[in-house]
Amino acid sequence: MALSKDIQNFVNLHHFLTKSTESIRQIFLNNYKEKYNQEWTENRTSAQIFFNTEKNQSLLNSMTSKQKNYALAGDSSKWDITLFYMILNRTKLISNSKFKQIEKIKDVRNKIAHSSTMSLNDEEYQKNSKIIEDCLAQLGVDNKEIENFRLNLTINNMDKPEASVSKHILNKKEEADKYFSEQNYSKAIELYTIVIESDLSKDLKAKVLSNRSLSYLRMFIKDKRRDKDFLFKALVDVEQSINYNPKWFKAYARLGQVYVEFNEIPKAIENFTKALVLDPSNEEIKTLLAETKYLDFEQSRLAHLDESTQPQTVEERGQEFMKQYENQFGRDNSKKSSEVFENIKEILIKGDKTLEDVFLGHEYRDGSKNHEQNYEMAAKYYSKAAKNGNIEAIYNLSQLTFNGKGVKQDLTSAIEMLKNAASKPPTRKVGNSDVPIVGVAESQHFLGILYQQGIYVIKNMALAIDFYEKAAANGSSKSANNLGLLYLNGDGVEADLDRAENLFLFCYKKGSNDSISNLINLYILKGDPENALLWHNRALEKKLLYEENRSKSLMETITTLINKKKFANIPENKSVDSFFKENFPQLKMLENFCFKTYPNNKTIKIYDQRMLTEYANNGSVTAKRMLEASLLFCDGINEFEQNQNSDIHDLSPIIDKLSRAFQLEHLVCQVPSDIQEKFIAKLEKILSLNLNDNLNFNSSLCYMHMIYSNYEQTILFIDDCLKKYSNCLQMHLIKGSIFCFMNRFEDALKEFDFLIQKEKDNFEYFYSKAETLKNLRKFDDALSNFEFFIKNAPKDHRKIPEAYYSIGECKLGILLDEKNAKEYNIYKVLNDYIIKGEQSEKEQLPCFLPYESSTKNLLLKNISFVQNPQLSNSDMTNFIHCDENRIKLIMSHRKSFFDMKKFQSISSMNFNNTITPQKIYKSQNYVSFFKDIKLKQIDFRKDEILNGYKITLRVFDVPLFGYTSTFFIVDDVNGSIERISVYNLGRDYEKIRKDFPIGIWFELINPYIRQAADGQPMIRVDNPNNIKFIGKITNKMCRYCGKENSTFKCSKCMEALYCSKQCQINDWKQLNHKQICI
């Protein structure tokens, strides 16, 4: 039913008054800042300071209780004109002349607020709106903004009354709202039902249904989530609400909340995202979406089954630590050390006084025998320590702030705290030791999660991987596990099962069970049932619920895989993966053809405008386009930095420049990280106005590029924009590109086909279509599109080389799909297009060199497999470069070597670093039937003797003397690194060096896996007779990668050899060779 003109006038004037209140609020905020030289913080802190004066106390006393509550809450966005009028009148924050203008607006507001008919004729409407306009102009509001107020006045659908709605019904609704605010939900539902059954407009009915839905939801929670009937009623109501008004953001947010209670997390995320598309600047929805995404992440990693994440008191944590210590070092050693651990707090506090507040914060956070759990008190003590620079306190305060425990929930502040903590050095000096600073790795890990999942931040896999790598390098087992999953699934990185395996093993070795299931899955994927079974049995020993639940199906899979290996005559000690890599490399050619990529990078690349100008003047079409985009973007972004606090409409020409730059060449449009959030926030504010003008159009295009990697949200946003701008080809292009990143290639193909129909000679569209067809394995169709692109694009277009490499990939795909593929010369096919691509690389602009292409790397990898299936030196170097366990062990060993040399220069004393072993084993005669074991198969968290096993090892680095035992760094035949401690070798160090030269191989029988005094695992050898030299040595071993016959020599020590210059550089920079370079 359409509204009458008089009612429409009434609602439009009400809307105008709402806009006026926003302008008055801005005047208050600006004048407050000018007078008090500080920002109004929109919370109780500012309110208490402001009203806690004798003069302003009388102001509070003059307010009604409702006004007083709003005033003391401090959120000025919720103040109405009357409240602003009272505050500005008493506090004299504005001049008398301006105050009179506010008084006039208040009088208009009072007039319509007390209207019994809720209608205005045209004459009354024009008269009152003119009063408001004149007053706003006198208050200094820009005339353009006032005019836009008028032009964009629309009826507020959520408050839209109809002539047919009686005042009695509207009063019932108000009464229901009152009962809801008093938490009398049953009474509220009763009254909302009466209102719903009345003759309402669609929009008003949508609002009341949503209110009743929330009432049912609150009743469900109040009933301790027992009666699901309340939840189903909430779902029905909110779905009906959406049917009545599908453009109302609150209904989708409400539906998201209902789905969270149903534990339908993906549906909840979808609806929160829809709500955010309709109201991009809504902070409450952003927070709800962030919380739900984090919940989704935790559930996906089965956090609810992880005992380590369950709540514990301080005492329970202490008992668990002592139990672990006892398991590692034995009951006797535990008793000896218990006194030290009882006094450890006092010892630490003496070195850092801020830890006293941190420990108190822990007690209040977790609860203890001294203090009941109290998040407010925890936040108080963390804040105190954080102000004094304690990183552990900053991290813990960020967690309370992120979750709204004990403090107001503020995700922006929480993330700032995390970034602050993550940027700090990971260790500090305590004596001669580098002690980890708690909070650094933890903050890096949490930021990795946020950027990986796009939780309250724009999803950025490059940043996520960077944070995970830093955290893993600083000892975070959880980051190692998450990073391993990315390599396992090829998510943001090229799939690398060996790298994933090392990360999962590192995670487990650090004491976490998170990676056990991932290791089992990895070994199944690699066709290694023996190791899958080994880790499954370890999981059952630890009583991991998930592994217990899937034990039957997993054993069936393992048994099937064992039988298939036997049928294929694959040796028991070989995985299917390693066997086929060695024997049939051609079958692995397409293994990494695709992996999940993302559009953003962690670094911002600067494009030199002088270079672009030079090439543009010489006729480069590509440089000319990039230069034009770069100049527009730089001008736009500089102007935005200078005018970011200006009125929205004053930003219109700036947003226009940036939009044109994005459309010309998005590569050069990389918004600096320090203003990204401000730029996005301003765009969201513009979009929330829901205008239909050039400013909205240009803001929409910029916003799509800024939130690009939040795929689902961007797709929904584009679909909403296309309802207004259906002919915008740029939006279709962005949509198609995002579909490609989401691996929704069929959907992407529809978009690119649509674009080509519109512009049949646009070579950019043909390239996008060709890439999509390639991913769909429609190689023949892809070839024709790549060829069209190469023929019509400028020769220096950055995608020309990639197009040649992709043609090679398509040709290879066609050959391998054919039955007679063996008849073709695969090497020639690949090499021809590599040559063409490399020739076209010479035409590229300097900013694109050296040219990076994963497709080219894939072709080169397949050529190397065809020519030589053995692992190349560069592959081995990369493998070592990425092995966290290897890096940490070698660096720690070399640091100990360096420190011991310094100490021995002033003392000849030896250190007794031994903790009495729990197990004593007797020497056994060497027998041939000892079973082989590899380092990766050993459980380094157990204190155990591996009776009946032998392991083949090689001395990899210089021996470490000066303790009661001699320490060696060794590797095995797979390149895995570990340290061993050999007792009873004597003090003739020259003889030991001679007997154990670098590169010598030996077998160790019955290895003893032991936790060392530093709490880290190692292999202990009490009887040197258990070491059997096997007459093998790696001559001239590379001290970085382990290859033999190395020719590069360290010019300083003249001892260390390297197989390449790169290995020498890596050993010096990455493994700190200078500490043993004597």
- CA–CA distance, 367 with 147 (Å, rounded to integer): 59
State whether 341 and 382 are in the same domain: yes
Over residues 490-508, the pLDDT tens digits come to 888 888 888 999 999 999 9
Look at residue 332 and tell me whether its pLDDT is greater than 60: no
Minimal CA–CA distance to 26: which of 120, 122, 113, 145?
Answer: 145
State whether 401 and 538 are in the same domain: yes
- CA atoms within 13 A of residue 417's CA, in its CB half-sphere: 26
Has residue 932 been placed in a domain? no
- CA–CA distance, 269 with 890 (Å, rounded to integer): 45
Say what percent of the chain tops pLDDT 70. 84
Strands 427-430, 433-436: pairing is antiparallel
Write out the two tokens for 850: 């050296």
Look at residue 147 and tell me whether its pLDDT is greater than 70: yes
State whether 420 and 368 are in the same domain: yes
Q: Which residues contact 190 (CB under 8 A, 6 or more apart)?
A: 176
Has residue 828 been placed in a domain? no
- Segment 202-222 shows an average pLDDT of 94
Write out the two tokens for 687: 């979009």
Write out the two tokens for 829: 């096919």
Q: Specify the pLDDT at position 197.
A: 87
State whether 254 and 381 are in the same domain: no
| Residue 491, strand partner residues | 596
Minimal CA–CA distance to 598: which of 498, 743, 716?
Answer: 743
Q: How far is CA 939 from CA 126, 509, 522, in A?
A: 82, 8, 17
Over residues 567-578, the pLDDT tens digits come to 777 777 677 666
State whether 262 and 374 are in the same domain: no
Over residues 386-438, the pLDDT tens digits come to 999 999 999 999 999 999 999 999 999 999 999 999 999 999 877 677 788 99
Q: Which residues contact 311 (CB under 8 A, 6 or more apart)?
A: 366
User: Long-range contacts for 1069-1074 (Cβ within 8 Å, ≥24 apart)?
Assistant: 1070/881, 1070/887, 1071/887, 1071/890, 1071/891, 1071/894, 1071/1040, 1072/891, 1072/894, 1072/895, 1073/894, 1073/1039
Q: Specify the pLDDT at position 25.
A: 86
- Segment 224-239 shows an average pLDDT of 88
For residues 882 and 741, which has the higher predicted lDDT (pLDDT)? 741
State whether 313 and 446 are in the same domain: yes
- CA–CA distance, 449 with 69 (Å, rounded to integer): 38
| 589 — pLDDT class (breaks 50, 70, 90) | very low
Has residue 763 been placed in a domain? no
SS3 24: helix
Q: How many domains, the chain?
A: 4
Q: Specify the pLDDT at position 1036.
A: 95
SS (H, E, C) 294-349: HHHHHHHCCHHHCHHHCCCCHHHHHHHHHHHHHHHHCHHHHHHHHHHHHCHHHHHH
Q: Specify the pLDDT at position 919.
A: 57
Alpha helix stretches (DSSP H) within 742-799: 745-758, 763-775, 779-792
- Contact (CB, 8 A) for 424 and 437: yes
Neighbours of 72 (CB within 10 A): 14
Phi, psi of 554 (to 5 degrees): -70, -40
- Segment 323-336 shows an average pLDDT of 56
Pseudo-torsion of CA 806, 809, 815, 817, nearest 10°?
-100
Q: Specify the pLDDT at position 258.
A: 95
State whether 357 and 502 are in the same domain: yes
- Contact (CB, 8 A) for 360 and 381: yes
- CA atoms within 13 A of residue 1009's CA, in its CB half-sphere: 23
What's the distance, CA 1031 to chain centroid?
Answer: 51
- CA–CA distance, 303 with 306 (Å, rounded to integer): 5
- Average model confidence (pLDDT) for the chain? 85
Q: Which of 81-90, 361-370, 468-477 has the lowest mean pLDDT?
A: 81-90
Look at residue 187 and tell me whether its pLDDT is greater than 70: yes
Q: Specify the pLDDT at position 125.
A: 84
Look at residue 148 and tell me whether its pLDDT is greater than 90: no
Write out the two tokens for 973: 């035949």
- Contact (CB, 8 A) for 568 and 535: no
Triad 1025, 1028, 1032: Cα angle to 5°: 155
User: Long-range contacts for 948-952 (Cβ within 8 Å, ≥24 apart)?
Assistant: 948/1006, 949/1005, 949/1006, 949/1007, 950/1003, 950/1004, 950/1005, 950/1006, 950/1007, 951/1003, 951/1004, 951/1007, 952/1001, 952/1002, 952/1003, 952/1030
Give kind and range of the element (H or E) at residue 487: helix 477-489
State whether 149 and 171 are in the same domain: no
What domain range includes position 665?
Answer: 601-694
Burial 105-137 (b: 16+ CB within 10 A, else e): bbebbeebeeeeebbbeeebbeebbeebbebbe
- Contact (CB, 8 A) for 256 and 241: no
- Segment 871-895 shows an average pLDDT of 69
Has residue 914 been placed in a domain? no
Neighbour-count burial of 568, counting CB atoms closer than 10 A to its CB (0-12 exposed, 13-18 middle, 19+ buried): exposed
Instruction: State the DSSP code for 596.
Output: B
Triad 35, 41, 45: Cα angle to 5°: 95
Neighbour-count burial of 304, counting CB atoms closer than 10 A to its CB (0-12 exposed, 13-18 middle, 19+ buried): exposed
State whether 316 and 465 are in the same domain: yes
Has residue 409 been placed in a domain? yes
Q: Specify the pLDDT at position 1013.
A: 74
- CA–CA distance, 1068 with 1051 (Å, rounded to integer): 12
CATH number of the domain at 252, please. 1.25.40.10
Has residue 293 been placed in a domain? no
Has residue 15 been placed in a domain? yes
- Contact (CB, 8 A) for 406 and 379: yes
State whether 151 and 186 are in the same domain: no
| 342 — pLDDT class (breaks 50, 70, 90) | low
φ/ψ region of 235 (left if φ > 0, alpha if ψ in -120 to 50, else beta) reads alpha
For residues 504 and 323, which has the higher predicted lDDT (pLDDT)? 504
Please say which residue of 212, 241, 268 terminates a domain.
268
Q: Which of 142-156, 288-302, 964-978 has the lowest mean pLDDT?
A: 142-156
Q: Specify the pLDDT at position 157.
A: 40
Q: Specify the pLDDT at position 329.
A: 54
Please measure the distance between the N-terminal and C-terminal CA atoms of the chain and give it in whole angstroms.
91
Q: Specify the pLDDT at position 5.
A: 65
Q: Specify the pLDDT at position 875.
A: 44
Minimal CA–CA distance to 344: which of 372, 314, 367, 373?
Answer: 314
Over residues 667-692, the pLDDT tens digits come to 999 998 889 889 999 999 999 888 88
φ/ψ region of 1046 (left if φ > 0, alpha if ψ in -120 to 50, else beta) reads beta
Q: Specify the pLDDT at position 319.
A: 63
- Segment 861-881 shows an average pLDDT of 52
| Residue 1057, strand partner residues | 1038, 1049
Q: Which residues contact 516 (CB under 8 A, 6 or more apart)?
A: 508, 535, 538, 539, 542, 544, 547
Give the DSSP letter string of 1037-1064: -BTTT--SS--EE-TTTS--EESSHHHH
Q: Which of 483-497, 629-643, 695-709, 717-731 has the lowest mean pLDDT?
A: 483-497
| 593 — pLDDT class (breaks 50, 70, 90) | very low
- CA–CA distance, 785 with 406 (Å, rounded to integer): 59
Most confident of 37-41, 433-437, 624-628: 624-628
pTM of the model: 0.75
Look at residue 591 and tell me whether its pLDDT is greater than 70: no
Has residue 671 been placed in a domain? yes
- Segment 106-129 shows an average pLDDT of 76
Give kind and range of the element (H or E) at residue 379: helix 375-387
Please say which residue of 126, 156, 186 terminates a domain.
156
Q: Specify the pLDDT at position 874.
A: 42
Q: Which residues contact 793 (CB under 8 A, 6 or more apart)?
A: 763, 764, 767, 799, 800
State whether 177 and 130 are in the same domain: no
Q: Specify the pLDDT at position 580.
A: 58
State whether 176 and 259 are in the same domain: yes
Q: How far is CA 212 from CA 119, 219, 259, 880, 1054, in A?
A: 28, 11, 16, 61, 82
| 870 — pLDDT class (breaks 50, 70, 90) | very low
